[in-house]
Every structure is written in C-alpha cells, then in structure tokens.
C-alpha cells in the first residue's frame, strides 16, 4: 500500500498547474465533467502502464543504485519544472472526434514525455511494484484533474496557482535532495560540494521564478470561463453528451 499511496500523492502534487491539468480544465469548459474524467482515466491508464513497464525493464540492465540516483535527480528536475510551469498551446482544440475520444487522445499525447509520465517511471524504479504504482499514478491523475474541473466549474474566473505550484515544487526538490544525499557514491558529497550544490539549486530556482515563474499560470489569457449551462433541447449552446 505504501507504493500506491506514495504514487497517488506524488502525481497529485505533480499535476498541480501542469499542462495536462490545464488541458482538463479547458476541456471542462466545452464538455461535461464526466466525459472529461473518463477520458483522463483511459488515457492515463494506457500511458502510465507503458511508463511502469519501462521503469521495471530498466532495473534488469542498470545497477539499482545508479537508477535510484538518477530518479533522485529527476525529482529535483520535476520541482524546477513545476516552478517554470506549463501552458496550453492549442492542445484543447487540436483533435476533432467525439468528446470522449477527443479528451482521451489529447490526454494520451500530452502525457507523452510529461513530468507525470517521467515521475511514474521513477516511482516504478523506486518501489519495484508495477500494479500499485500504475494504479496510484492513474487515480492520482484523475483526482488532480477532478480538483481542477471542480474549481473551474465553481469559480469560473482567474485561478491563482502560486501557492500550489511552490508547495509542490518544494516537496519534489526536498525528495530529490535527500535522495541524492542517500544514493550518491561515498566520498563525492563533501561538505563543500553539498553547500555549492544547494547554492546552485537555489540560484536556478530564483532564476526560474524570476524569468519564467508566471509561465502557464492560466489557460490562454489567464481567464477561465464557466461551462455553458444546459439549455432547452433544440437550442444552440447545449453541451455535447457523447
């Protein structure tokens, strides 16, 4: 159960302000929330199944200590990536199928190479339990997108993400720093190297926050619009059902 809950929590944090969460929020302004969440579930289940298989495969050919060290560094990268942020570049309008397949296909492709997919690979390496990691990351993705959709429907206005983004980023970087300290071969991390490394991380964090910290804090211009309210049958503007 540790692998499941850790994977679930990690992906929920990773999704806050991520491009795929923004995509779900954007699609929720066009389609019913249930359609969006089912599409997210199917796309994530397929995408993260691929990720956990890759993570399990790596451990057969690469020494575990090195994989864990790379995974620790990747958590630091996830934190910096979270500070940088994401924005949509037309992914919510890119595919034109039925609403369910539009959501599913868009989510599947937007997750390829995204930090939540890479985090799933790292978690599969860390815990060596394919099913709990796959289930935890998949349900974590659905839960995080449900939060975004609920916020979009209830508020329907500009949504500040600064607190969520920085909280998630600091958690990722802390996990990464402790992991590097644990798995780095003896003799490399001298006190001077540790201080210099932390100073470099702080500098990079500052530069990202200073020059790219506002990147992608909203969908398009920073305004969310409420989903169109259902009208009487036969009138234009009614949300699509399927």
Render pLDDT for 142-170 as a digit per residue (tens, 0 to 9). 999 898 888 777 765 555 557 667 776 78
DSSP-derived secondary structure letter, 89: S
User: What is the per-residue pLDDT for 127?
Assistant: 83
Q: Which pLDDT belongs to residue 64?
A: 62
Domain boundaries, the chain: 2-211
Q: Is residue 223 over pLDDT 80?
A: no
pTM above 0.75, yes or no: no
In tens, the pLDDT along 94-134 reads 555 678 887 888 788 777 767 788 888 888 888 888 899 99
Tokens of 227: 């989903």
The set of long-range contacts for 222-230, using a CB threshold of 8 Å and a minimum separation of 24, is 222/158, 223/157, 223/158, 224/25, 224/29, 224/152, 224/155, 224/156, 224/157, 224/158, 224/159, 225/29, 225/156, 226/29, 226/152, 226/153, 226/156, 227/28, 227/29, 227/30, 227/152, 227/153, 228/29
Q: DSSP code of 240?
A: B
CA dihedral 168, 174, 177, 178 (to 10 degrees): -130
Q: Which residue has the higher pLDDT, 236 or 104?
A: 104
């Amino acid at each position: 159960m540790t692998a499941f809950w850790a994977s679930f929590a990690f992906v929920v944090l990773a999704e806050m302000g991520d491009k795929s969460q923004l995509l779900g929020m954007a699609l929720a302004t066009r389609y019913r929330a249930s359609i969006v969440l089912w599409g997210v579930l199917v796309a994530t289940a397929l995408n993260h199944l691929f990720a956990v298989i890759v993570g399990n495969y790596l451990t057969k050919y690469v020494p575990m200590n090195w994989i864990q060290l790379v995974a620790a560094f990747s958590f630091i990268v996830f934190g910096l990536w979270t500070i940088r942020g994401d924005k949509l570049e037309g992914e919510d309008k890119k595919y034109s199928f039925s609403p369910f397949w539009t959501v599913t296909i868009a989510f599947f492709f937007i997750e390829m190479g995204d930090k939540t997919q890479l985090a799933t690979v790292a978690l599969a390496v860390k815990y060596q339990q394919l099913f709990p990691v796959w289930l935890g990351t998949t349900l974590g993705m659905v839960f995080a997108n449900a939060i975004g959709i609920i916020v979009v429907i209830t508020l329907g206005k500009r949504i500040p993400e600064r607190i969520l983004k920085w909280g998630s980023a600091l958690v990722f970087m802390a996990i990464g720093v402790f992991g590097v300290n644990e798995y780095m071969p003896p003799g490399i991390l001298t006190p001077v190297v540790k201080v210099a490394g932390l100073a470099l991380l702080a500098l990079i964090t500052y530069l990202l926050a200073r020059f790219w910290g506002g990147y992608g804090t909203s969908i398009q211009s920073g305004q969310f619009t409420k989903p169109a309210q259902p009208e009487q049958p036969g009138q234009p503007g009614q949300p699509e059902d399927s």
